[in-house]
Amino acid sequence: MRRPTPFRCARAAWRGLAAACLMAVPLAGAEALPTAAPARITIGVLAVLDGEDTQRLWQPLADGLARALPGHSVRLQVLDPVALEAALAQQALHFVVTNPGHYVRLEARHGATRIATQTTAESDDPAHTVGSAVVVRAGTPVPATLQALRGQRVAAVAEDAFGGYQLVAHEWLQRGLDAEAGAVQRVFTGFPMQRVADAVLAGRADAGILRTCVLEQLERTGRVPPGALVVVGARPDAPAPCRSSTPLYPGWAFAALASTPPELARTVLLALLTQPTDAQGGRWSVPADYQRVHEVLRALQVEPYAFLRDTRPQALLGRYWYLLAGTLAVLLLGAAYMLHVELLVKRRTSELSRSLRERERLAQQIARGQEAMDHLSRLSILGELSATLAHELSHPLATIANYAASVQRRAARGQLAPDALAVALQDIGQETERATRVIESIRALARKRVPVRALSDPVVLAHEAVALFCGLLGQAPPIRVECAPGSADLRVPGDPQQIQQVLLNLLKNALDAHRAAGRADAPITIHIERQGDHLAIAVQDQGDPLSEAARARLFEPFYTTRPDGLGLGLAICRGIAETHGGALQARPAGASGDPGMVFELLLPLAPPTPPQETAP
pLDDT band of 421, cuts 50, 70, 90:
confident
Flag whether pLDDT at 9 surpasses 60. Answer: no
CA distances from 577 to 252, 321, 537 (A): 109, 72, 12
Flag whether pLDDT at 33 surpasses 50. Answer: no
Flag whether pLDDT at 189 surpasses 60. Answer: yes
Amino acid letter at 208?
G
Flag whether pLDDT at 284 surpasses 60. Answer: yes
What is the pLDDT averaged over residues 491-516?
A: 88
Flag whether pLDDT at 449 surpasses 80. Answer: no
Which of 81, 176, 166 minimizes the C-alpha distance to 131? 166
pLDDT on residue 313: 77
pLDDT on residue 81: 87
Containing H/E element for 588?
A: strand 583-588
Which of 43, 252, 238 minimizes the C-alpha distance to 161? 252
329: Cβ contacts below 8 Å, ≥ 6 apart: none
**Are the C-beta atoms of residues 522 and 606 closer than 8 Å to each other?**
no
**Are the C-beta atoms of residues 212 and 130 closer than 8 Å to each other?**
yes
155: Cβ contacts below 8 Å, ≥ 6 apart: 187, 188, 189, 195, 196, 199, 200, 204, 205, 207, 208, 209
pLDDT on residue 122: 76
Flag whether pLDDT at 63 surpasses 80. Answer: yes
pLDDT on residue 604: 94
**Are the C-beta atoms of residues 538 and 510 closer than 8 Å to each other?**
no
In tens, the pLDDT along 85-128 reads 999 999 999 999 999 999 999 999 999 999 999 998 777 788 88
Query: In 3-state terms, what secondary structure has residue 363?
Result: helix
What is the side-by-side strand order in the sheet with 534-540? 479-483, 524-531, 534-540, 597-604, 583-588
pLDDT on residue 11: 47
pTM higher than 0.75: no
- Write the DSSP string, 85-114: HHHHHTT--SEEEE-HHHHHHHHHHH--EE
pLDDT band of 24, cuts 50, 70, 90:
very low
For residues 277 and 286, give the distance between their C-alpha atoms in angstroms, rounded to a whole number. 15
Please give the distance of CA 492 from its chain centroid, rounded to a whole number: 53
Please give the distance of CA 367 from its chain centroid, rounded to a whole number: 48
CA distances from 50 to 223, 474, 565 (A): 11, 144, 131
Mean pLDDT for the chain overall: 82
pLDDT on residue 610: 60
Flag whether pLDDT at 392 surpasses 60. Answer: no
pLDDT on residue 55: 86
Angle 167-174/291-300 helices, nearest 10 degrees?
A: 60
pLDDT on residue 436: 73
Q: Which of the given ranges, 122-126, 140-144, 414-418, 611-615, has the highest pLDDT on average?
A: 140-144
pLDDT on residue 413: 79
CA distances from 61 to 8, 64, 332 (A): 20, 5, 68
- Write the DSSP string, 215-241: HHHHHHTTSS-TTSEEEET--TTSPTT
pLDDT on residue 48: 75
- Write the DSSP string, 471-495: HH-SSPPPEEEEE-TTGGG--EEE-
pLDDT band of 443, cuts 50, 70, 90:
low
Containing H/E element for 357?
A: helix 321-384
In tens, the pLDDT along 513-536 reads 888 888 888 899 999 999 999 999
In tens, the pLDDT along 554-604 reads 888 777 777 666 667 788 888 888 888 999 998 888 755 568 889 999 999
Flag whether pLDDT at 616 surpasses 90. Answer: no
For residues 465 and 378, give the distance between their C-alpha atoms in angstroms, rounded to a whole number. 13
pLDDT on residue 451: 65
Q: Which of the given ranges, 148-162, 465-479, 502-516, has the highest pLDDT on average?
A: 148-162
- Comparing 7 with 368, which gets the higher pLDDT? 368
What is the percentage of the chain residues whose pLDDT exceeds 90? 44
pLDDT on residue 36: 39
What is the pLDDT averaged over residues 472-481?
A: 80
- Comparing 436 with 566, which gets the higher pLDDT? 436
pLDDT band of 5, cuts 50, 70, 90:
very low
pLDDT on residue 69: 92
CA atoms 197, 203, 209, 213: torsion sign: positive
pLDDT on residue 548: 84
Please give the distance of CA 249 from its chain centroid, rounded to a whole number: 51
pLDDT on residue 591: 58
CA atoms 352, 358, 359, 361: torsion sign: positive
pLDDT on residue 8: 45
**Are the C-beta atoms of residues 526 and 466 closer than 8 Å to each other?**
yes
Flag whether pLDDT at 188 surpasses 60. Answer: yes
For residues 202 and 228, give the distance between their C-alpha atoms in angstroms, rounded to a whole number. 11
pLDDT on residue 83: 92
Amino acid letter at 381?
I
Size of the chain, expressed as the number of residues it contains = 616
For residues 229 and 222, give the distance between their C-alpha atoms in angstroms, rounded to a whole number. 13
Q: Report the range of poorest mean pLDDT among 102-111, 122-131, 323-332, 424-433.
A: 424-433
